[in-house]
Structure formats: C-alpha cells, structure tokens
Structure 1
Amino acid sequence: MLRLLPTYTTSPLVRTRDPAILSTCHTVVDVGAEYDASRNRYDHHQREFTTTFPGHSTKLSSAGLVYMHFGKDIIQTVTGLATGPDLDILYEKIYTDFIEAFDANDNGVNAIAPKDLTSAGITKKFEDRGFSIASVVSRFNYAPSATGAPRDKADQAEEDARFLKASLFVGEQFLLELTDRAAAWLPARKIVAEAYSKRLEDDPQGRILVLHDGMPWADHLYGLEKEAPIPAGVAPQVLYVLFPESTEADSKWRIRAVSKENGGFENRKDLPDPWKGVRDEALDQVTGVPGCVFVHAAGFIGGNKTFQGALEMAKKACDY
C-alpha cells in the first residue's frame, strides 16, 4: 500500500528487528514495539495496543494501521477521487471488505467464534483453510530444510525474495479491489438508488428492482432498504433484480434472486421450484411466459429473451 504513494515508490525495504537499524528508518511497520504516527512508527504488538478502525471492533494489525493513516491518500493517488463523501464511503468500504480480514487474521480473531459454532451444532461442509489470501501468503513463507542446519545468508536471501513475492501478490489484490470499487461499485450507488426510488413503477409492492445495465448492486440495495422509510403496502425487501446481459439493444435479460444479506447462496426467495433446471420452450410452458431462456437448477438466476418477459417471470415468481 505504501509503495502506491510518491513518498514510498522507490523506498528501499529493510527487514530487521535490530533497534539500531530501525532508528535510521523513515517509516517502521510491524516491528519496533512502538505506535507513533507522528514519527511514522506503526507496530501493534505492544501489550497496551488496542487501536481499532473507526466504527469497528477488530484490533488493528500493521496493515490496518497503515491503511487508517494513509488510506485516503492512497485512494486519491490511485483514483484521483476528490475529498468528500465519496472518498469517505470508499475508504470505509475498502477497510470493511478487504483490510479488516487481515487485521483479524493477524490478531487471531475468527469471523465466528468456534465455540459459537459448536454450541449451535454447526459443522463445515468442506475445508476452506487453503482457499484464502492468508493461506496463499503462507505458502510464500520460507521454510528452511528439515536437516536442522543453521540459517545462513542464502536462507535469509530466499526468505526476503519470497516475502517480496507475497507483498507484490497481496498488493496487486489490494489495487484490484480499490480500482474496481472506484470504477464500478462507487458510481453504481447513484444508479441503484434511482432504480430503487422507481421500483413501484414495475411492481406496486416494490419487490422488483430494474437496472438497465449490469453493475454491482447488492451492497447498495441492502443499504437503501435500511436507510429509506418503507411506505405502507410496500414490501420491506426487494426479491428480484432484473438487468440486461449486455449493452446491445436486443440484449437478453436476467432475473436474479436477491441473496439474504451475508447469506452467501441463500436467497430471500428462490425462483419457483418447478422452474429450476428447465430451459427454452419447456420453461415457457412451465412459467406461462414466452421467450424464456433458462432458470438455474439452484434457483438463484434465470433469463428471458426480452425485458418484458423477464419482468413477467419476476412478477409470477413474487406471487408463486
């Protein structure tokens, strides 16, 4: 993250815990047992350290400390975003969706306490420890041979080289997260809000949201439902979102069941069971709607050749 700023673009990296060497460094991160932003000291291992990101309860790691102090400057440098509400929103979003998981992992905090899962009788359906950024970074870590031979300069050089590879990998993931959010997620806020305000035009109960372009909409929809007052007679939640497959005038349309917030693959209301896994003319017959293309066997998404067809599918699904 720091290398994205002009001050640090060409700065050399020194990996050491030697206090004498650290005292010569412009910025010290993750070592040194000191947190003092005025002197660019960003360690979190002190017993008395309890700092958290504003509005969050996870204790910061060095990643969170760097992001908290430099994040807005980094975002502005990369995206050109001006100071204001949009910058504040993106700054918070990047921490919540990307950085906080690093803080939690570094400080030994589980997303859900194992004891809570055990007391609830919940067990994993599969093992996912190897499928995370933390596990990928772990694979970069240098492990000396099992011979027990003392570490030498070659060992240290290998460790440093692999550290740099890990840093480049995670840095690329951060940059992708930032640029994609700035280019697509942030502009989508206003479009989704406008579509949400007009949802009663397509369904008097407001259960269908129509977007005339594909975009990241879920986060914004969840937020709008919490922020905006719900009129009498209007459903509290949107059940289906419609959007075109492409920008072509004759594009096919998709109908997407809205997932439960933080529910993964669990939807507020699946597309009807009799539609699941059915395609084309057979689906026309089952739904009573012409122009159907498909409904996924899991019931979370379907398609029609036209907007009107997709809208009719959504209306029937709402009342099924």
Structure 2
Amino acid sequence: MKMAVHNGVFHADEVFGVALMETIEPDLQVIRTRDEAVIAECDIVADVGGGKYDHHQADKVLREDGIPYCAFGLLWRDYGKQFTKIICPSLNEVESEEVAYKVSMDFITQIDASDNGVTLNTYESPVTTLSQIISSYMPLQSENKDVDRAFFEAVAFAKRLLQRVVRQYGEYYDNLRYMKEALNTQDVKNTHILILEGAVKWKDILLELDKEEDVLFVVFEDLTGSWRVQTVPKEENSFDARKDLPKPWASLRSEELSALTGVEGCIFCHPNLFIAGNETKEGALAMAHLAVQA
C-alpha cells in the first residue's frame, strides 16, 4: 500500500497518522508530497489532497466533544480498533472498542485540538505539549539533516509511544481477568489478604470488585523481585486505608523491623503505614497476617 502525506514542515498530526498505518501495514510505502498526480496513485491520503483524511476543509468533521478531527483523529476513528487488536491480541471485540475509544478521548484529543488551533493548555505558564515534542524533531539550523529523515525519526518515536499507550489501556482488561480469578479462588473473606503474583495494577480494579471490603492488605511481588504488603484505600485517589499497617512498624527497617515483628527478611515499613517490604513471599504474607490481627 502507498500512503501520501504532505512534505515540508511536519506536525504530530501526520506523524502519528503514519505511525498508526505503518503498524497496520508494515510494508506501507509513505510518500511525502503535494503533487496531485502522485497523490492520486496512493491508497491512503492524509492531511493533504482534500480527501477523507484531510481536515483542512471549511466544513470540518467534529468529534463528540466538539473539537475538530485532525487527519490522525480521522484515521484513528476508522483504524483505531484494528490497531488495538494488533497491539493487544488478548482483548475481545468489546474490549478493543473500549480501548480505542479511551485512547481517542485521553490521548488523541490533544493532537486533534492542537492541529486545529483549539487551546487546551490553560495554565499561565504553558507546559510542553506532545505536538511540540514532535515538532522538536524538525531539523535545527545547526544540523545538516534532511527533513524527510527527521520526519521518519519522529514517526519511529510516535509509533513506540502510541503502541505503548494502547498496551497500557489494554492491560487493564488482562488485570481485570486476573483479579477476578484471584478473588474467586482465594479465601479473602476470612484472611482479608489478597495475594498477587507479580506487580499488577490492582487498586482501581479491587475497589471496583471488592464491594464488601473483604480485602484489607494486598501482598504482591515488586518489580525488584522482593515482596510488598500494601494497604487498600477506602476509595479511589484516597490516602485513607481500610486498615493501616501497625503503628509500631512506622519507619523501621531491616533487622529492627524483623526483630519487632518476629518475621525474617523484613526490608522496611513506610512512615505513613501504607506499604512494607520483605525479601520473600512467605515473609510478606506473615507480615500481612500480623497486620490483620493487630
């Protein structure tokens, strides 16, 4: 397949549009041109040529939030679900649709807005936007670099970022399935402890599933290979826990914490009593049982 985008100065719009389509069509030939004869021979034309995926017409297509689509937004509307299924093959049809929608609302909105002159940045001191980051790939005056080369460097960055954003959203559904199974197979009503194998993003999902508030502490393996005992917040974005770790543990570390608890391998306990660590799963689980009983 051949895809045409305009040449010259590039923006996040067509950069991410190409990143999207290259993921779907790995052998895609991308041509940067304004030559109408060349454009007519291409299968997909975006941000140029006045066609379906150009947004420079007076009667712009609007998103449901009223922001006009840019070329990337228009491409995502048609190909976002397909992209999501490639990046997250474990998702079913409904989940793929939901992830594509969330990415559109939370991530692509900023690019749609920026490329259509809609201001989203309302801070007195504006922060750097994603569109500005893409523009930073344009060759500097001090560089002897071809614009097309810089464009495809920006596309490579955009492709990695877009794929990672989609994976991040898609991972929620994998975690949801894992958490449902864990809650159904562990005796959390009596132990008040949930054990997770691996660093699963569990907080929001647990609050969603554990309506009876049976789980007081979660034991899980950290990315470093050690194990953690963490409190469960009462509600989303709250620092108030269903139950804190024991007060005498606060700020203690290593041998001092192990001596107090009688559990070998203790690493630390946070002064705010929301998380503690142990070298082993067995040690972390022993600490969790002590916390439940305290």
> If the length of structure 1 is used for normalisation, what is the TM-score?
0.62
Q: 1:10 to 1:188 in 2, by over 3 A?
A: same
Read off the aligned partner of 2:229 and give its amino acid letter: I
Q: 1:21 to 1:187 in 2, by over 3 A?
A: same
Asked if residue 244 in structure 1 is aligned to residue 221 in structure 2, the reply is: yes
- Residue 110 (structure 1) aligns with: 120
* 2:46 alignment partner, one of 29, 46, 70: 29
Q: Which has the higher contact order (CA 8 A, sep 6+)?
A: 2
State the secondary structure of the residue aligned to 1:192: helix
User: 1:243 Cα shift?
Assistant: 0.8
- Residue 169 (structure 1) aligns with: 157
User: 1:260 Cα shift?
Assistant: 8.8
Q: 1:276 to 1:44 in 2, by over 3 A?
A: farther
Alpha-carbon contact 2:254-2:267 (below 8 Å) kept: yes
Alpha-carbon contact 1:289-1:312 (below 8 Å) kept: no
User: 1:190 Cα shift?
Assistant: 0.8
* 1:73 alignment partner, one of 70, 82, 99: 82
Write the distance in 1 (CA, Å) between the matches of 2:126 and 2:251: 28
Alpha-carbon contact 2:50-2:56 (below 8 Å) kept: yes
Alpha-carbon contact 1:75-1:81 (below 8 Å) kept: no
- Residue 195 (structure 1) aligns with: 182
Alpha-carbon contact 1:72-1:87 (below 8 Å) kept: yes
State the secondary structure of the residue aligned to 1:169: helix
Asked if residue 214 in structure 1 is aligned to residue 199 in structure 2, the reply is: yes
User: 1:275 Cα shift?
Assistant: 4.2
Q: 1:186 to 1:82 in 2, by over 3 A?
A: closer
- Residue 29 (structure 2) aligns with: 11
User: 1:140 Cα shift?
Assistant: 0.6
Between the aligned residues of both structures, percent identity stands at 26
- Residue 150 (structure 1) aligns with: none
Write the distance in 1 (CA, Å) between the matches of 2:131 and 2:236: 21
User: 1:253 Cα shift?
Assistant: 2.4
Equivalent residues in 2 for 1:1-320, closer than 5 Å: 1-6=20-25, 9-16=27-34, 22-32=39-49, 34=51, 41-52=52-63, 59-78=68-87, 80=89, 84-95=93-104, 98-107=107-116, 108-110=118-120, 113-114=122-123, 129=127, 133-144=130-141, 158-178=146-166, 185-197=172-184, 198=186, 199-203=188-192, 208-221=193-206, 224-225=208-209, 230=211, 234-235=212-213, 240-245=217-222, 252-257=226-231, 263=237, 267-269=239-241, 275-284=249-258, 288=261, 290-291=263-264, 292-296=266-270, 301-307=275-281, 309-311=283-285, 313-314=287-288
Write the distance in 1 (CA, Å) between the matches of 2:218 and 2:119: 35
Write the distance in 1 (CA, Å) between the matches of 2:57 and 2:246: 55
User: 1:47 Cα shift?
Assistant: 4.8
User: 1:59 Cα shift?
Assistant: 4.8
Write the distance in 1 (CA, Å) between the matches of 2:278 and 2:137: 46
State the secondary structure of the residue aligned to 1:294: strand
User: 1:10 Cα shift?
Assistant: 2.9
Write the distance in 2 (CA, Å) between the matches of 1:315 and 1:106: 55
Alpha-carbon contact 1:257-1:268 (below 8 Å) kept: no
Q: 1:253 to 1:50 in 2, by over 3 A?
A: same
User: 1:299 Cα shift?
Assistant: 5.7
Count matched residues: 269
Write the distance in 2 (CA, Å) between the matches of 1:283 and 1:275: 7
> If the length of structure 2 is used for normalisation, what is the TM-score?
0.67
